[in-house]
Amino acid sequence: MIADKLAEFTLKAVHDLYGQAIPNELIQIEKTNREFTGDYTLVVFPMSRFSKKSPADTAHEIGAYLEKNISELSKTEVIKGFLNITLHDNFWVNFFIENLNNENFGINQKATGKPVVIEYSSPNTNKPLHLGHIRNNLLGFSLAQILKANGHHVVKINLVNDRGIHICKSMLAWIKWGNEATPESTGLKGDHLIGKYYVLFDKKHKEQIAEFVHRGYTEDDAFEQAPIMKEAKEMLKKWEAGDEEVLSIWKLMNNWAYDGFDQTYKRLGVDFDYINYESKTYLDGKKMVEEGLRKEVFYKREDNSVWVDLRDEGLDEKLLLRGDGTSVYITQDLGTAQRRHDQFNPGQMLYVVGNEQIYHFDVLKKILKKLGRDWSKNIYHLSYGMVELPHGRMKSREGTVVDADDLMDEMYETAQKTTEELGKTTDFNEQQLHELYHLVSMGALKYFILRVDPKKNILFNPEESIDFNGNTGPFIQYTYARIQSIFRKAEKSPEEYIPLLDSTKIELSPVEKEIIRIIYEFPLAIHAAGENYSPATIANYAYELAKTYNHYYQDTPILKRVEQDTANFRVLLSWFTGRIIKLSMSLLGVAVPEKM
């Protein structure tokens, strides 16, 4: 990349001019502010202490050195302690022609090194996917796409939390009050049906807690002593003991949940290479707990529960097995991590999990280290902020959660209404309209969530996300569709224009050079997104390119009222732009329509 060459020769300039070898990190090269002339800006202030001269004088001297030694450089301009660098138009034209027909420009197609295992989704089989799961799935899937584009072999895994006390709660409520209801008999998706009984359990439990508190119990004692909670705990023990009746109901209800999840995943456009089940890994975790006891890394308390002391690690004591022998979350996560290491020998294991679990993953890594698993250093928790709503946080037990399926229905309806109001449905048949509304609604949802840095919270607003102006998915989709309309008007394919292109007759306007410069930086955006685990980098890149091209499209004739050589170039510039927009959006899991 040209920025690397500028940095390399800046280092040489400081050495040759001032006899100083400076560290690479002192070289700061940025895009030139739109208010000034130039393509790149070198921050000269750090070099002035080596030159023993003012920043302006230092900038003039380094600028002259760069002009003499870099053939691509057209001119430099000093603005106080900044050196603005302008490249020859031929540099941009040559780049454009050399990469015009490269369908995978910016994508590293050669996978190298150990695989990266990335876990996302991680649903519980006691309730349907909700808005928080949507952010999780979109982040995980997009990050997998981005890491692949950076040349990594990626393994996408969904760990299904299909066992534990919370699963027993929905099972017990169904047994008590379900009257053998099924998805078929109720017309409900299986995951929705199960979620209904999870909410019902919580309602009945609260009623019993209130009754016990009225009789003089504390809140904590009432929580544990409520009969329905005792029954759920007894069911968990029976499950771990292999009780056939309990396992039969568990399998029945879990299959309902899996069917429901699959429908939601398909609609959301995410998938997995492997699905793991905690019911198959918790025993591995128990074996590791036994190993820790033998090594005296863990210890038992009087009630027979097993603990690890992490106070010397800046944490606290952590429960690993309950006194009745049943496992907890950390137990099964130990077994899961070991299985993944054994199966894939990954260079890194990424967990896409909300930021409320930061402590949990600190504990997991420290326990693995105590057990002698050196590979624990390869575990990375990609924590992300919550998706918040105007009326507050979601609570699954209380039934106030925003269901993923309901949200996608609402997005579809909003996309339909907005698209029809703007008159963007001309010449569409019924099936095409359905596909368009689906693309726009999913594009709006995905882009709105992914354009925000993962660590930040999001206040989600469906109507704001479906806007054909501004920093939204539909705006970028509409830009792509506009580009495709050019080729329909041209009545021949873009490829047919390539032999007609005469590079000697290309005269770049400022906005054309800006579009090419943004395209040139696509590989840098992919690299940065992969390094920082941030799809937001790609989202903002796609918006910048779409926004710049839209100004160009509105102000510049493409096919008419221009000479043929100019039209040839502008059609191909549009084609290249559209391809990069499509590639960018595909890294976010967003499809783009051919017409709108």
Examine residue 579 and state whether it is found in any structural domain, yes or no. yes
Count of domains for the chain: 2
- The last residue of one of the domains, among 42, 60, 87, is 87
Examine residue 336 and state whether it is found in any structural domain, yes or no. no
Token digits of residue 83: 């050196």
Examine residue 83 and state whether it is found in any structural domain, yes or no. yes
pLDDT in tens, 377-400: 999 999 999 887 665 444 434 445
H or E, element range at 318: strand 317-321
- The last residue of one of the domains, among 34, 52, 87, is 87
Given the structure tokens 């690397």, which residue do they identify? 4
pLDDT band at residue 187 using 50, 70 and 90 as cut-offs:
very high
At residue 221, does pLDDT exceed 80? Answer: yes
pLDDT in tens, 319-368: 999 998 888 889 989 999 999 999 999 999 999 999 999 999 999 999 99
Examine residue 127 and state whether it is found in any structural domain, yes or no. no
Contact 459, 389 (CB under 8 A): yes
DSSP codes, 462-486: HHHHS-SSSSSHHHHHHHHHHHHHH
pLDDT band at residue 569 using 50, 70 and 90 as cut-offs:
very high
What average pLDDT does this structure show over 448-463? 89
At residue 548, does pLDDT exceed 50? Answer: yes
pLDDT in tens, 254-303: 999 999 999 999 999 999 999 999 888 888 999 999 999 999 999 999 99
Examine residue 431 and state whether it is found in any structural domain, yes or no. yes
Examine residue 217 and state whether it is found in any structural domain, yes or no. no
Examine residue 19 and state whether it is found in any structural domain, yes or no. yes
Which structural domain range is residue 508 located in? 404-587
Residue of 66, 397, 65 whose CA lies nearest to 200: 397
Round to whole Å and give the CA distance between 29 and 464. Answer: 35
CATH number for 60: 3.30.1360.70
pLDDT at 389: 67
- Radius of gyration for the chain, computed over Cα atoms and rounded to the nearest angstrom: 29
CATH number for 482: 1.10.730.10
Examine residue 7 and state whether it is found in any structural domain, yes or no. yes
Contact 480, 581 (CB under 8 A): yes
- The last residue of one of the domains, among 87, 119, 146, is 87
pLDDT in tens, 229-240: 999 999 999 998
Sheet of strand 379-384, all strands in order from the earlier edge strand to the far edge = 274-277, 154-160, 116-119, 348-354, 379-384
Sheet of strand 306-309, all strands in order from the earlier edge strand to the far edge = 298-300, 306-309, 317-321
Round to whole Å and give the CA distance between 15 and 370. Answer: 49
